[in-house]
Structure 1
Amino acid sequence: MSVVTLTRFRIDPADAAELRLRHAALVSAIRSAAPGLAEARLGKLDDETWIGIWRWESTEGLRAAREIAPARPESTAAFSLARDVTVEQMEIIDEG
């Protein structure tokens, strides 16, 4: 069953272009190190509030990524721009 994480955070609007670059690097690094990432999206609600939506093929894939992500320099770089970070996780019950 698929699992989705929603990571909501705030950034300085001046960092938007850099955030996009760092997010892309993070996605690439996680994909190469922990299989199972089906989709990763980055969106913004306003100039300061952003949401990362990552869909995993399984809970096991997410668990593997969470074990390696903190040690990855791409994670540190991406999250160094963020503040007020919250994360939610949900299992996908119905897919349409």
Structure 2
Amino acid sequence: MTTVELTRFRVLPEKTDELLAARPEMLKDFEADRAGFLGARLVRLPDNEWLDIVEWATPEAFAESREKGPNQPGIARFFAAIDSLVVAEEGVLAE
């Protein structure tokens, strides 16, 4: 079953353009460096909050990605635009 990573975070208004500009490179880095990465969607919420919905082939693939952290330039650039983490959760896609 597909593992889903749900990460809700805040971005300061002056960093929004930076976050959005970094997103394509971050996704390319994930595709090149993260085994089991299936795709991601970024949702803009009210009050400077965002929700990143990332799909992984297995829970192990997600765990390995967490261990790597921002090890690639595009990933690091995206993470640097984030002001604070609200919540991070893991679930299984119910198809």
TM-score range, shorter chain: 0.7 to 0.9
Q: Distance in 1 between matches of 2:50 and 2:34?
A: 24
| Structure 1 range deviating more: 50-59 or 11-20 | 11-20
Q: Match for residue 76 of structure 1?
A: 76
User: Per-residue CA shift, 1:23-80, capped at 9, x if unaligned?
Assistant: 2211110110122111201111125111111011111221222222332233322122
Distance 1:62 1:73 in 2: 19
- Backbone CA RMSD of aligned residues: 1.6
CA distance in 2, matches of 1:11, 1:90: 24
Percent identical residues? 29
The residue number in structure 1 matching 2:6 is 6
Q: TM-score, normalised by structure 2?
A: 0.84
Gaps of 5+ in 1: none
2:21 corresponding residue in structure 1: 21
Q: How many residues are matched? A: 94
- Give how far 1:20 is off: 1.3
In the alignment, is the contact (CA less than 8 A) between 2:16 and 2:81 conserved in 1?
Answer: no
Give the TM-score of the pair, scaled to structure 1: 0.83
Moved over 4 A (4+): none
